[in-house]
Chains A and B, each alone.
Chain A
Amino acid sequence: MRRLINQRPGRGGAVMLSLLPFVLVLCTYLVYSHARLLENPGDKLLPAPSTIASTLHRYAFEEDERSGDYLFWTDTVASLERLTAALAVSAVLGLSLGLAIGVVPYVRATLAPFVAALSLIPPLAILPILFIVVGLGELAKITLIVIGVTPVIVRDLAMRTAELPAEQIIKAQTLGASSWQLVIRVVLPQLWPRLIDVLRLTLGSAWLFLIAAEAIASTEGLGYRIFLVRRYLAMDVILPYVAWITLLAFSMDLLLRVVRAKAFGWAAQQ
């Protein structure tokens, strides 16, 4: 008998094993939902799959009586717009600041401690300030995500830049590189895949800030809807929305991973 750490599942076995927890959770839900509904057909806590399906159909394919919108899709578009806008701003800010801190000692001395301090402020604690200063509009929600995510990106990329072997930086100088050339030919190209890595890592907290901001001040969005229907114990809306958010987050992560592998093949071999 080999040691436990040396026993590996086969390819098919690995797929089965990875599906197992999902199936287990689903089955558990179905069993308990069925049991509760037998006892009380009006139970709202664990709605039957058919109820969830019909609610989802109503949200996704029927116009809302009041607004005339397809709520599921307007919510999705609103949330994704906020998220991508915020992530784009954070990526640009994070990359340029992280690069400057990593490469230029004077910028590092000036900004690194400041960014470290900023990153320790809990973003949700300053959400009221944002609402007071920039109002309740889109800007506040996007700013919250940017404030929450950017310091992490800056610090990570500054660290990655500092991790580039000193030999490389010296070699580039002996090839005649100016500081600017060093940045655009040596450092920046090597930071792109790292930017994708750190974006993937911050995706979770970006969603967190998005939902939080939408829950507090919004008129549409996935987070807004969940917190709105909570008042009516509408689990038949909340559950599919949560699953949808998870699926969206998973897809974004997958997309970033594929882009990294396709566009930066050299980084996969390292």
Chain B
Amino acid sequence: MTQVTVKHLWKEFGKQVVLENVNLHIADHEFVTIVGASGCGKTTFLRMLLGIESPSRGSFLIDGQPLADEPGPDRGIVFQRYSLFPHLTVMKNLMLGLELRDARLFGRLFGASRRRALDKARELLEAVGLQSAADKYPAQLSGGMQQRLSIAQSVIREPKILLLDEPFGALDPGITADMHALIIKLWNIHKMTIFMVTHDLKESFALGTRLLVFDKVRVDPQSPERFGATITFNIPLKGHRSSP
């Protein structure tokens, strides 16, 4: 069970107010989609969830505990690009998460524990349809395949929360339908909470169980940096939650 609670959250960079008075409660196993104009703080919100940006005021709680101020294995991330490790094959990219968990000193597994990790990685590789590319390097994959791998890589540590930062923004429109099916499948298998930033309104309605719209309520034409954005709409959606 993972509950995310945001209370009176403000984020300022110097004089510029990015987010003001954000309040939110997200129950377990939600698929939250986040939309908003560019520069309205949705990515900043995601970066705070990730732990690479800290709130100026207010609090970010996961299950009642304040969020750690650096990234950790409880929160997975899929960026738009660049998050694969170019020196590792597809299989080794996937296994890395398990190796880092189980081999604290050298980050490499051997023998029986390595075979267990391989089995688990292979299983996930099949789930994302990349089994035939196991020995390729990321640079040899198409954009869609790279994102499948990136998603699988983030899921293998079974994070409580999965963050997606415009994960399909750089892909051909033809591929995104497959990617949507994949992310819904993994979300239902692993029962994590997903936060997904997107600029595609249709996508946000199609995938989410909850849609958040970030926008500025007040605008000062003389100094646009004076007021920040907040959540203007918080809409429950049908989503694709599989019945237990």
Contact B52 A174 (CB under 8 A): no
Query: Whole-angstrom distance between the alpha carbons of A168 and B71 in the complex?
Result: 12
Known: A171-B77, A189-B87. 7 other contacts (CB 8 A): A168-B82, A168-B83, A171-B154, A172-B96, A176-B73, A176-B97, A266-B87
17 inter-chain pairs at a CB distance below 8 angstroms, sorted by A residue, are A167-B82, A168-B82, A172-B85, A172-B100, A174-B73, A175-B97, A175-B100, A175-B153, A175-B156, A178-B100, A184-B106, A185-B108, A190-B85, A190-B86, A266-B88, A266-B137, A270-B86
Given the complex, which residues of B lie within 8 Å of A270, measured CB to CB? 86, 139
In-complex Cβ contact of B83 among A171, A189, A267 (8 A): A171
- Is there a chain A Cβ closer than 8 Å to B224's Cβ? no
Q: Is A246 an interface residue (CB 8 A)?
A: no
Q: For the complex, is B123 an interface residue (Cβ under 8 Å from A)?
A: no
| Complex interface residues of chain B between 68 and 124 (CB less than 8 A to chain A) | 70-73, 75-77, 79, 81-88, 96-97, 99-101, 104, 106-108
Find chain A residues with CB under 8 A from B156 CB. Answer: 175
In the complex, chain B residues 130-162 whose Cβ is within 8 Å of any chain A Cβ: 137, 139-140, 150, 153-154, 156-157, 159
In the complex, whether B50 has a CB less than 8 A from a CB of chain A is yes
Give the residue among A176, A186, A189, A269 with the most B Cβ atoms within 10 A.
A176
Interface of B is mostly: loop
Closest approach, in angstroms, between the C-beta of B16 and any C-beta of chain A?
A: 21
Q: Cβ of A165 < 8 Å from any Cβ of B?
A: yes
A173 interface residue (CB < 8 Å to B): yes
Report yes or no: B79 in contact with A185, Cβ–Cβ below 8 A. no
B residues adjacent to A (C-beta < 8 A): 50, 52, 70-73, 75-77, 79, 81-88, 96-97, 99-101, 104, 106-108, 137, 139-140, 150, 153-154, 156-157, 159
CB proximity of A187 to chain B, nearest CB, Å: 10
**Docked CA distance A269–B137 (Å):** 9
* In contact, B71 and A173 (Cβ under 8 angstroms): yes
At the interface, is chain A mostly helix, strand, loop or mixed? Answer: helix
* 5 nearest CB pairs, A to B: A165-B82, A176-B73, A173-B71, A175-B97, A269-B139
Shortest C-beta distance, B11 to chain A (Å), equals 18
Q: Is there contact, CB below 8 Å, between B79 and A269?
A: no
Q: Indicate if the CB atoms of A170 and B106 lie closer than 8 Å.
A: no
Q: Do A175 and B157 have beta carbons less than 8 Å apart?
A: yes
Which residues does chain B contribute within 8 Å of A175, judged by CB atoms?
A: 73, 96-97, 100-101, 153-154, 156-157
- Chain A residues with CB under 8 A of B82: 165, 167-168
Complex Cα distance A121/B30, Å? Answer: 60
Separation of A5 and B26 alpha carbons in the complex (Å): 60
Q: Is A205 an interface residue (CB 8 A)?
A: no
Are B77 and A174 in contact, CB atoms less than 8 angstroms apart?
A: yes
